């Protein structure tokens, strides 16, 4: 009987420590998951913006590109 109680106590304590370790690992994984989801959402937002012709024109113009019959007017500050 004493041996059984000793084994049960040892098993219980061991499982408590394992549970704490797993909870810490779970919390870390949740933080990493939220960061990854935020990055994914930011990238999806950027992809959606790239579908907008006005946004593409703004990017192209910022790199000095123009449409075929378009003239680029710059101020002295640029």
| Per-residue burial over 17-31, b = 16 or more CB atoms within 10 Å of its CB, e = otherwise | eeeeeeeeeeeeeee
What mean pLDDT is predicted for residues 58-77? 78
Residue that the structure tokens 């378009």 belong to:
70
Quote the number of domains for the chain: 1
pLDDT digits (tens, 9 = 90+) for 34-67: 999 999 999 999 999 999 989 988 888 888 777 7
Residue 75: is its pLDDT beyond 90?
A: no
Whether 26 is in a domain gets the answer: yes
User: Is 43 part of any domain?
Assistant: yes
Domain contains 40: yes
pTM of the shown model? 0.60
pLDDT in tens, 15-42: 999 999 999 999 999 999 999 999 999 9
2 within a domain of the structure (yes/no): no
57 Cβ partners below 8 Å, 6+ apart? 67
**Would 37 be classed as within a structural domain?**
yes
DSSP 7-40: HHHHHHHHHHHHHHHHHHHHHHHHHHHHHHHHHH
Per-residue pLDDT for 78 more than 60? no
Indicate whether 12 belongs to any domain.
no
């Amino acid at each position: 009987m004493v041996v059984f109680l000793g084994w049960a106590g040892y098993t219980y304590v061991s499982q408590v420590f394992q549970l704490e370790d797993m909870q810490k690992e779970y919390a870390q994984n949740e933080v990493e998951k939220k960061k990854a989801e935020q990055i994914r959402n930011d990238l999806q937002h950027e992809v959606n913006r790239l579908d907008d012709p006005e946004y593409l024109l703004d990017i192209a113009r910022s790199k000095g590109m123009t449409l075929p019959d378009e003239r680029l007017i710059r101020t002295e500050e640029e």
